[in-house]
Structure 1
Amino acid sequence: MGTVGLETQPSATTYDLEDLIANAWAGKVRVPHFQRDFRWATQDVLRLFDSIVKGYPIGSLLLWVRKSPAQSLTLGRLTIEAPAYEDTLWVVDGQQRITSLANALHPQGNMHAPFSVYYDLAERQFISQPTTREPQHIPLPILFDLEKLIGWFADEGRAASEHFKEAQRVAKVLRQFKVPAYLVRQDDERVLTDIFDRMNNYGKRLSRAEIFSALFAGPEEGSQNRLSLSRIADRVADRTGFGTIDTDTILASILARRGPDPARDIRNEFDLAGRRRAPEFPSEDRDTAYAQGEEALVRAVEFLQNHAGVPHLSLLVYRALLVVLTRFFAHFPEPEANTLRLLRRLYWRVAVSGPAVFKGSFTQVGRVLSARIKKGDERGSIMGLMEAMAEAQPTVPNPERFKTNEATAKVVLGAWWSLAPRSLISGKPFDAQDLSTLLGDQTTAATVAYRIFPRGLSPQQQLLAANRLFLPTGSEPVDEIPLLLSQQPVDLDDETWDAVLTSHCLDRTMTDLLAHGDRGQFLSLRQDAIANQLRSFLDRMAEWSYEDTPTLDYLDLDELDDLRE
């Protein structure tokens, strides 16, 4: 290891928070494109401001001083048209703090979580945006601006005038808080990425996707126009409504497209000389790999939605399967109808029997199944995938433990989605757009799998799938589910109401029990109905009793004739 590093030692300085934030809003403070994505939650932002007002140190910044051109840049939720500067401050360490401060204190940034921070003048504490605004709740952008602060107390905050001195105190502390920083002057961007890598690995380790992004970030110039793993995640979500896939899965999918081992060493990915195995797309560069990887990933997601009955990421049983499917659809963009049917079988067989076949470890699923997919051989690839699950036995998960972050619940939710769940009020089926709108970027379906009885059950009964209702609605009174189920709406005829009940594994016998307060018998009957529906669903999707054979189109009939002769 060589000893060549910085040409000059970093210089130490301090900034008043007011000046630092003004520079950030003016585009003089920027975040390099090789930085990790913003990762803080609301509690992290609240803690930061609490530390500032208490006078606690918040750590020093490491800023890279360099000449920068005019550009449109993004900082958190802020879009800034930045002019050219001779001495721009690029954040090597401190991105989470700078982004949080610049957004929470800005009128536009403060409108969005996790930056929607208020100060409760009466309780003397920072809070997230309250559901109900009280007179003593003041948004940070107003607290931070002396002129706006005075105007606020003369108008909207008049009822909280007794707290004016407290507001003055906090505002002064915020503006004058000293932020220590080290300034580095260095032209070689590789030195900065090396510093970034070392500093972040001393604390919370970078994810594989973050390391890959830093290694293959490319030059700063033009970075805002290039694809990144996080941008691919956002674009796939926008194109499909599937939700935002994590960047590690995005990276694994891109790697799987380019070679059979998605867990391979990433440091030589675009260096042919450093590869043990030649890539399957040898001539493409990083940008092409990203663009083509996105297209294959979209096709894989659309297969899950349109053929496998998985409408949203929160219902995806194992993400390793998405990686495998991306590889398959990269090599076979328009597979035969029978291939799609076999892929559907594969998904559901792995979903319910995979833990037994792969000995409970899914770290190898992506590698084992991806290796079965051979470029240019669709028939051989799908047969190889099915053979990998040859030892799988027909299995039905036990729905007595329903937790939305576990595989069993995701399988049960898939079975329920196949019933086209209907509104308890209008009787109309919910669609994938309803589900996508409500779930957004959530990774579990907890917010649409409501407990029928939130209280009053034993711990074992609380866990039953029978105590859940799959209801993708943002308008119906979900806290009154027992009442809604026990009373047929007057504007729904019997046939429609029966269809509503059936779509939720219910019938009139169960709702009569509910109306009479017999929770135990209601749960028992519905649990049996759920188990039966789940078994029927998996028989249909996994097709355990069918032969995993290709269609006649795959067979060489001339060869068979030769054998007869």
Structure 2
Amino acid sequence: MSSGLDTPDELEVSLTNKDVQKLVQEIDEGKIVLPDFQRDFVWPTGQVGSLLESLLNGYYINTLLTLPVTGGGDNVPFPPRAVEASSGAIADSGQLEMVLDGQQRITSIHYALTAPDLALDNTKYPQLFGLSFSDVILGALEDDTIQWKSTHYGIWDDLQPDDYATQIEKDFIPFTIFRSKDSFDDWRYGMEDYANETDEISVDDVRAFDRQTRVFRNYGIPIIEMKAGTSPATVVQTFERINTQGLELGIFDILTARLYPKGVQLRNLWADALATNSDIKEYADTTDEKRLRKHLLKALALYRDKECKDESVGELSGTQFEDDWDTTVQMVNRALEKAQSASAGGFGVTEKYGFPYSTLLPPLANLLHLAENSETYPRHESLEMVQRWYWASTFSRRYSGSSDTISYKDYTEGRDWIRGERTEVPEAIQDASTVIPVELDLSSLTRGGPYSGIMSLLVLNDARDFGTFESITVHEVDDHHIFPDAKLKNGATGTKYGKTARNQILNRTVIESQNNRFNIRDRLPRDYIPDMIDAHPRGEAGIKDLLQGHFINEDGFEALLSDDYERFCQARKEELRNEIEHRIGASVDWAVSEEMV
């Protein structure tokens, strides 16, 4: 009887090696390439330096895993891309080596030996790697021997291989001299000539440098080579196994590999999404592109009525993928547009603070799509349902932890509610009345999702700048203390307050990011509020209206004029609590919160 299971393919491999100079040469020639699903080069300077130290000392650096493919041929299982910071060209004929495991290592070696115009993960400017000449000739091949210099400063952008005097003066020999056998020989003979002309070093010193770096120049990097023609499925499965022990690939990268044999080029789809959707492009530029790609795939999974756990996303079918992708991209772009809007129906998500929880985006995109295309209810009622869910989830911290299961539950309940197939309010809103007073203490809230949520509420409430009296947009927002931090710390109001009490959300509000805080600085409210009244065209009435936008009522206004911090915080707390209840469309038992304090 058949078991119904596929018989696994036998994995055939061979062993070889390649020295560092040959490696760099073949990267430059486009003969060593990467599969398109590989993650980007992410090693910082320290890791590059540690790798170079290992090579200098002949330490084992683990094997590369490669797959032979034919340039321009039909046996390429995945779209190839050039090694980062290389020429970018890929050979269109002959045998190529596609590196499945070892990208960070080969890119680091190529970077050190070619000094490209590329900043590393932890640097703003490109780096030039080099060796301490004095350390090397003494045989001290340790981590301090490896140095790196920013090419943005001083001589390092123009240090030539034949500038022997500067290299000895700075005790810095660039790794670029090792790029090829010829480049090293030219450097060695030139440095020997320089040694004959100066008393600073000797020819023996140059020869010692030659001996001490020979292991590096001849280092044979071990390579495990898979058999040409290995099935894409076997390659992907092998690749996934390897990456559970190394630099973990994101779900986007894994799905890129899995979908390519189905004719779906996910990276190209993502590039098109960035090029044609302004809100997605802006959000990717100002936040985290990798995270946004993952959220988009999770939104697609929900759109297909599937859970958005990584394993579910990784198993998304290639059938009608491009159509579903296009729909999801439009949904996410629309959700970002609505999220960053301060107008009616928007969510007031600011560029500075972002979403209260970015994991809200996949269900939000789907629920907004349903609401805006609903035929069961009037459109405004459906959108109000989404608003209630969003704010309930924000202030109950519903998405503060692992949220994949919650996202699917919220999506399905919200979907059925919007369609009129469910009469019961979704769990997120039901639970909010009892969860929010437990999870949300405004008197100690200084950061996190609810903090960002309240900043959004201020923008939506048309909070105006204390100095210009103009509305604040989601792109120009900053925040500041209402009662100055230094004054509260020093007891200027009669009590010395601790850090949390000074920085609580009740004492923070929004201003324009370009404003120099002229009207506040380190002055107490009783000093700067009268100045604001004098400057406003409508005087005291105008300032009271302005403060209402910051959830500061009449009692709060009187507390400001008398520098009564406790009274002010209590008055503002009541206003914010009322606003939260209004947004979730339900009453909250705040007494629970007071009892816990």
Same fold (TM > 0.5): yes
Verify the 8 A CA contact 1:399 1:531 in the aligned structure 2: yes
Deviates more, 1:291-300 or 1:202-211: 202-211
Structure-1 separation of matches of 2:421 and 2:234: 44
Q: Kindly tell me: are residues 367 and 450 of structure 1, through their superposed partners in 2, closer, same or farther at Cα, counting changes over 3 Å?
A: same
Q: Which residue of 1 aligns with 2:329?
A: 294
What is the match of residue 237 of structure 1?
A: 280
Query: Which aligned pairs between 1:73-112 and structure 2 lie closer than 5 A?
Result: 73=81, 76=84, 80-99=88-107, 106-110=115-119
Distance 1:15 1:77 in 2: 16
| Structure with larger Rg | 2
Q: Equivalences for 1:480-519 in 2 at 5 Å?
A: 481-482=521-522, 493-495=535-537, 498=543
- What amino acid maps onto 1:202 in structure 2? Q
1:389 and 2:389 matched = no
Closer, same or farther: CA 14–164 of 1 in aligned 2, 3 Å: same
Which residue pairs with 2:458 in the alignment?
416
2:18 equivalent in structure 1: 13
**CA-atom RMSD in angstroms:** 4.9
Given the alignment of the two structures, is residue 4 of structure 1 paired with residue 12 of structure 2, yes or no? no
AA aligned to 1:369 is: D
- 2 CA distance for matches of 1:236 and 1:258? 23
| 8 Å contact from structure 1 (residues 464, 527) kept in 2 | no
Partner of 1:49: 49
For 1:258 and 1:412, how far apart are their aligned partners in 2?
33
**Mapped contact 2:256–2:267 kept (Cα < 8 A):** no
- Kindly tell me: are residues 116 and 190 of structure 1, through their superposed partners in 2, closer, same or farther at Cα, counting changes over 3 Å? farther
CA contact (8 A) 1:32 1:220 kept: no
Which of 416, 419, 424 does residue 379 from structure 1 map onto? Answer: 419
| Change beyond 3 A, Cα 1:541–1:286 | same
Q: What are the residue-to-residue correspondences of 1:522-541 with 2, within 5 Å?
A: 522=565, 524=566, 527-541=569-583
Between the aligned partners of 1:52 and 1:287, the Cα distance in structure 2 is 43
Equivalents in 2 of 1:450, 1:125: separation in Å? 44
Amino acid at match of 1:401: S
Task: Give 5+ residue unaligned stretches, structure 1.
Answer: 155-160, 272-283, 436-447, 547-565
Matched, 1:248 2:288: no
SS in 2 for 1:65: strand
Which of these residues, 352, 365, 368, is aligned with residue 326 of structure 1? 365
Retained in 2: the 8 A contact 1:64–1:89? Answer: yes
Match of 2:64 in 1: 61
Helix, strand or coil for the counterpart of 2:17?
strand
Shift of 1:253: 1.0
- Percent identity between matched residues is 13
Measured at CA, do residues 410 and 108 of structure 1 come closer, stay the same or move farther in structure 2, by a change above 3 Å?
same
- The SS at the match of 1:4 is coil
Q: How does 1:207-246 map to 2 (within 5 A)?
A: 207-218=250-261, 225-227=268-270, 237-238=280-281, 243-244=287-288, 245-246=291-292
Residue 275 of structure 2 contacts residue 281 of structure 2 at CA under 8 Å; is this kept in 1?
no
State the TM-score, normalizing by the size of structure 1.
0.68
**Within the alignment, does 1:368 sit opposite 2:415 as a pair?**
no
Please report how far the alpha carbon of residue 194 of structure 1 lies from its aligned counterpart in structure 2 after TM superposition. 2.3
Residue 466 of structure 1, CA deviation: 4.5
| Number of residue-to-residue matches in the alignment | 489
Name 1:202's counterpart in structure 2: 245
- State the Cα deviation string for residues 160-184 of structure 1 (Å, max 9, x = none): x586452226554787664714144
* Cα displacement (A) at 1:528: 3.2
Matched residue type, 1:473:
S
With 413-422 and 387-396 compared, the bigger mean Cα shift is at: 387-396
Q: Deviations over 1:531-560 (max 9, x none)?
A: 2342232133222269xxxxxxxxxxxxxx
The residue type paired with residue 433 of structure 1 is: H
Distance of aligned partners of 1:6 and 1:450 in 2 relative to their CA distance in 1, 3 Å threshold: farther
Displacement after TM superposition at 1:246 (Å): 3.7
Deviation at residue 255 of structure 1 after TM alignment = 0.5
Answer whether contact 1:233 1:246 (CA < 8 A) is retained: no
Task: Check the 8 A contact 1:304/1:311 in 2, yes or no.
Answer: yes
The Cα of 1:195 is off from its aligned counterpart by 2.1
In the aligned structure 2, how far is the partner of 1:67 from the partner of 1:475? 59
- CA displacement at 1:215 relative to structure 2: 2.5
Classify 1:461/1:207 alpha carbon distance in 2 versus 1 (closer, same or farther; 3 Å).
same
Structure-2 residue corresponding to 1:344: 387
SS at match of 2:586: coil
Equivalent position SS for 2:98: strand
Cα distance in 2 between the residues matched to 1:208 and 1:72: 19
For residues 153-232 of structure 1, the aligned pairs below 5 Å read 161=166, 164-168=169-173, 171-172=176-177, 178=219, 180-182=221-223, 183-188=225-230, 189-203=232-246, 205-218=248-261, 225-227=268-270
State the one-letter code of the partner of 1:253. Answer: A
The one-letter amino acid of 2:64's match is L
TM norm structure 2? 0.65
**Residue 512 of structure 1: CA displacement?**
7.1
Over 3 Å counting, the alpha-carbon distance change for 1:469 and 1:194 in structure 2 is: same
**Kept in 2: contact 1:65–1:90 (CA 8 A):** yes
CA offset at residue 320 of structure 1? 4.6
Q: What is the match of residue 347 of structure 2?
A: 309
Gaps (5+ residues) in structure 2? 1-5, 74-78, 133-143, 181-215, 491-496, 589-597
1:432 aligns with 2:470: no
